[in-house]
Chain A
Amino acid sequence: MPLVFAGVTSHGPGITGRAERADPALRDAFYDNLGRMREALAAARPDALVIITAEHFANFFFDNMPSLCVGMADDYEGPIEDEAWLRIRRRKIPGNPDLSTRLIERMMQDVDLAYAQEWKFDHGIMVPLHFLTPDYDIPVIPVNINCQCPPLIPLHRAYEFGRALRKACDAVPERIAVIGTGGISHWPATPNSGKINEAWDRAFLEKFLRNDREALLAYTDEDTYRDAGQGGFEIRTFIAVAGATEGATGQLWFYAPIPIFAVGCTVAVMDVS
């Protein structure tokens, strides 16, 4: 059936791991909007949550790097990082391999995918889940888009993946929510950590929220790297959500650069209802 919820949010490990070092007013406003997203997600009563992330060498390495990979496991374990470093306790997160399989088979009509029956979640999934499904009671289907190691999937293919995901979700009876998580501009884990290009972020978000395919696909990796850092490559996760919600526009619930979180912290929701 049609998607019951779609949105995007940030996932920097500092959001949990360095919480006390952020401006309390900004941090709490960000957390409040993640709480609002949690409530909206719960109100949509999803049977499964597809989370489109950009993982960071937790499962995929330069020996065998898929551009797109979809989880197909009974359950997943996370975080792979040190629990004290991320301040999220390690646990199992339920999957739904039957639904994964049906979605993958349908999406393969349109896009080439890898799949994985074992997957360790890193902060790119665990930080959003920590806020959005704190009881870990909604089965998760992880999707990874390689945003770390060029060559990277072209933006128009990330958008096409989103369209394929939507067609697949439309074709199954389950109520499915989609969350994209990544970017926007940032220079994570480098000497420039904390640098954020707010003007670039706001311009990107404006295009994303009106779901302007042409404008979103006009970015080049050269420009993104220069203006938005290596972390800017993670716009692919947002662009996949745009593809999955083609025709819908969105609302920005929260955006603020929080340097110790190393990212412009974002909560936005697409109107799919």
Chain B
Amino acid sequence: MSLYQVQKVIYQLNRDPGLRERFAADVDGVLAAYELTNEEAEALKEPDIGLLYVLGVNGQLLMHFAAFRGFEWDDYLAAMRRGVERHGPVRAGIYAMVSD
């Protein structure tokens, strides 16, 4: 579990058009620079937006990654809901701050 690293990938993709181009051309090469679990790397590659949400990625990062990967707004929201159904509640990060 390395939420910091997953969020770092997305933060840097969101900021850097050149990195987005390299990500599209050689995703494994880009991800090799980060310390990711297999689950995290696969979630980024697929992309499994719902799992990334469950892993704890902040939506302010995730919504731009989802748009980059072709998700329209409603599809992005639906993907997060499906992720919670499939993978359970958010495991880390700010959305796991309190349980109710």
Interface on A for B, CB 8 Å cutoff?
Answer: 18, 56-58, 61-63, 80-82, 85, 120, 148-150, 188-191, 193, 222, 225-226, 230
Contacts of A82 in B (CB 8 A): 64, 67-68
Interface of chain B: mostly helix, strand, loop or mixed: helix
Closest to B84 in A: A191
- Given A58-B15, A62-B4, A62-B7, A189 contacting B67 (CB threshold 8 A): no
Whether the Cβ atoms of B67 and A120 lie closer than 8 Å is no
Candidate in A57, A58, A63, A80 with the most chain B CB atoms within 10 angstroms: A57
Question: Which B residues are in CB contact (< 8 Å) with A57?
Answer: 11, 14, 58, 60-61
Per the 8 Å Cβ criterion, residues 33-91 of B in contact with A are 53, 58-64, 67-68, 73, 77, 80-81, 84
Q: Which residue of A lies closest to B7 (CB)?
A: A62
Which one of A18, A149, A191, A226 has the greatest number of beta carbons of chain B within 10 Å? A191
Given A62-B7, A80-B15, A85-B67: A148 touches B60 (CB 8 Å cut-off)? yes
- When distances are taken between beta carbons in the complex, the residues of chain B under 8 Å from A18 are 73
Are B97 and A191 within 8 A (Cβ)? no
Instruction: Classify chain B: how many residues form its interface, as a range.
Output: 20 to 34
The 6 nearest A-B residue pairs measured at CB: A189-B59, A56-B60, A189-B63, A191-B80, A191-B81, A190-B59
Q: Which of A80, A189, A226, A230 has the most CB of B within 10 A?
A: A189
Q: Are B14 and A149 in contact (CB under 8 A)?
A: no
